[in-house]
Amino acid sequence: MIVAGALAMLPVAGVCADDGEKLFKKYCWGCHHQTAEAFGPSFSTIASKRTKEEIVAQIVDPKSTSKVFGYKRSSMPSFSDLDPEELDALADYIMKFKDKR
């Protein structure tokens, strides 16, 4: 017995079409949370400490920026393959969490 295979899905409440959120779910959410410390720092922590430009630099070249920022070590991989629009959308999304706890 297959229960329910062919039926249409119910609409999903609260799904945001925002590109930044989509990119977050594609690339970031395995390690970062918006407001809570996880494997990586929360977006609220990042947004409170960094400018948008610094955030873009960290996404593209974390090895270099982590030295500039004075981190002891960095586990973050580079996302240099993201295009400028994607980086802009993602950085905007991260900045939204400034001062949110």
User: Least distance (Å) from another protein to the CB of residue 12?
Assistant: 6
∠ CA 16-35-26 to the nearest 5 degrees? 45
Place of tokens 């090895």: 63
Q: Does 100 bind another protein (CB under 8 A)?
A: no
What's the CA gap between 95 and 99, in Å, rounded?
Answer: 9
Q: Is 17 in the site for another protein (CB under 8 A)?
A: no
- State the minimum distance, in angstroms, from the CB of residue 77 to another protein: 4
- Residues 18, 67, 78, 100: which binds another protein (CB under 8 A)? 78
Q: Which residues ranging from 51 to 70 are in contact with another protein (CB under 8 A)?
A: none
